[in-house]
Amino acid sequence: MSTFITSINELKVDESLQNLVEKVSKFQKCSLPRCNNPPEVDCVPCQRSLCFSCFEKLHSLIEEHEQSPYGTIKKLAVNSCPKHQKPYEYYCKDCEMQLCGLCTLVGSVHRDHVMATISEYSYMCMATTEEIIKKSESRQDGLRSKKSAIDAVADKVRNVKQDSYSTITTSFDKLMEAVQERKGYLLNQVDLICDAKLHGLLQESSCIGSLISQITRHAKNMKYHLDMHSPSDMIYSRSKIQKLSKECDFLFMEPCYDESLNIFSDTFKLSEVISKFGTVNLKPSKINPPIVTRVDKKLEFVLTWQPYIYSENVEYKVKMLPEDDDSEESSVLVYKGKATTCNIRDVQYGRIYQFTVQALNQLGEGGESDPSAPIVIEPLKSFEYSRDFDENGLIYWLGTDYGTSKRFRNPATTGKIEVTCSSMNSGTPELATGRIDTEFNTTNTSKSWLTFNLKTISIIPNRYSIKHGGTTAKPDYLRNWDFLGSKDGVKWTLLRRHQEDSMFSWEIKNVDEDYSYFRILQTGRTSRGTDYLETRGFFEIYGKLVRE
């Protein structure tokens, strides 16, 4: 079927209908089961398309069925026998075809074949059909769930788009208002300073013009009185000129204008005005809350937030809020820098996390954002104990290739986990997870141990099982030992202490941390008074998987 579909996909779009029909007909097969030859002839009574070989084998000379070139007969209704025009009553299991009553009696084609009535065969197929329907419905539910998830993400994207449009529009409107306000203020300052200077300069210019006019007039009068031989009038005009000259000397001693023409020097520099107008460096405002996502299969979050684009040299502070609103704990600063994303690592399973982000620059800090949507680390998978040596634990799941295979292969030999020991007397430590009744034991040394390294996997344990005591006629059972857990294989935490114990499976209580290493540490003598640590091919652990 896959070959047929692949070949159909290879058909060119622009081919004619006749060419398509011819090409599709190439992929038809003989009607008989287990025959892959192309059909070459149509059996008119049987209404079936067969190859020449199957037609000769199926239809003896006694049957004398009429044959027709392939593809030329008109198919009859499928609910009645085309040969005898009788309704179908039986199903031949060997030929996998429906028959009427006469077909089962006439001829030798179906002699000694296994027959069943249509109703009996339908009943036999009911369970298989119902199973197929259930699987189909389950698949449909999964597809509906997937579609709902995709639709939800699409809705979120639409909302993000709408919010982004709204945020950008609002922000730029605020920016334009701030720019217009700043522009008005600067223009007003220029008007005030320039108008004041111009007013003073015009007054001084008018005063100087008046002095020039008076000096010119008195100089003409003095020359006129000199020509007219009137000494008294000439002396009067000369005294006026001398008086006006003293006023001019006073003016030139105190210049009425800035010779560099920098009329803003007494208030602020024009370059400073242009600099302030050009950068529009505003104090940050409140920004949107960060978006928090979990890194796949890790106890880690990634936070992202929108940058504040209306200022230069902006930094951000990210704070983690306390889990309980009524708690006296304060927010914890988890990031400070110029990036708009950060990673939060080593988060705890089951804890509710929320974060805020705040923008700041040299002009001050903006308000804290609203809290992010709550997020919590949920287990990837749960392993529940049902009985000793069952198939519900983590080790069995790893041995069946993460539950995808029916065949168990020791995960310690396939590299999914690593088993080590303090010493070896007989066997290898990998036998402890092989699920085969094979003995492994350490040397007769105190404080013997057996360690299971899950590598990248991390689990919050609630129960474990181990088959101990060896396979000899006189097994040597564990009696005193500690079950330990570790995140790195260096620092160990006591999960359960056993004293004079004798079972194969034990519950682990009050453990909220996840671990990747587990160790059996013998703390006392065995049932036979030795220090051998003996196992018989079975170790299993149960709980909540939080890292894969």
Q: Using one digit for the tens of pLDDT, what is the confidence trace for 2-52?
A: 443 344 344 444 444 555 545 545 557 787 777 888 888 887 767 778 888
Reported as type and span, the H/E element at residue 486 is: strand 481-486
| Cβ–Cβ < 8 Å for 290, 372 | yes
Structure tokens at 238: 């000369």
Strand partners, 300: 345
Residues 6+ apart with CB under 8 A from 193: 263, 264, 267
Is residue 174 helix, strand or coil?
helix
| Cβ–Cβ < 8 Å for 507, 384 | no
* Cα–Cα distance for residue pair 312/359, rounded to 1 Å: 11
| Cβ–Cβ < 8 Å for 528, 470 | no
Phi–psi pair at 449, nearest 5 degrees: -145, 160
Strand partners, 98: 91
* Cα–Cα distance for residue pair 30/51, rounded to 1 Å: 6
* Cα–Cα distance for residue pair 187/262, rounded to 1 Å: 17
Amino acid at 406: K
One of 3.50.50.60, 2.60.120.260, 3.40.50.920, 3.40.50.12160 is the CATH number of 381-547, namely 2.60.120.260
Tell me the pLDDT tens digit for each residue of 341-382: 998 887 777 778 889 999 988 888 888 888 988 888 777 789
Q: Mean pLDDT per 10-residue run, the chain (548 residues)?
A: 41 47 61 80 77 75 66 62 81 86 79 83 79 84 88 89 87 84 81 76 77 80 77 76 66 44 40 44 79 78 83 85 74 89 82 89 85 82 90 93 90 94 92 90 93 92 89 81 94 94 88 92 91 90 86
Of residues 438, 449, 437, 454, the one with CA closest to residue 395: 454
The pTM assigned to this predicted structure is: 0.42
Q: Which fold has domain 291-376?
A: Immunoglobulin-like (2.60.40)
Is residue 61 helix, strand or coil?
coil
**Domain locations along the chain:** 2-122, 157-279, 291-376, 381-547
Of residues 56, 63, 9, the one with CA closest to residue 35: 56
Helix 118-227 and helix 270-279, axial crossing angle in degrees, nearest 10: 170
* Cα–Cα distance for residue pair 261/461, rounded to 1 Å: 83
Reported as type and span, the H/E element at residue 497 is: strand 492-498
How, if at all, do strands 300-304 and 341-345 pair? antiparallel
* Strands across the sheet containing 492-498: 418-421, 449-453, 517-522, 481-486, 492-498
CA distance readout (Å), 438 to 11, 191, 471 = 59, 99, 7
Give me the torsion for CA of 37, 41, 46, 48, rounded to 10°.
Answer: 40
| Cβ–Cβ < 8 Å for 450, 421 | yes
Amino acid at 75: K
Q: Which fold has domain 2-122?
A: Double Stranded RNA Binding Domain (3.30.160)
| Cβ–Cβ < 8 Å for 471, 481 | no
| Cβ–Cβ < 8 Å for 437, 536 | yes
CA 489 to chain centre: 30
pLDDT value of residue 175: 82
* Cα–Cα distance for residue pair 166/174, rounded to 1 Å: 12
Structure tokens at 103: 């077909």
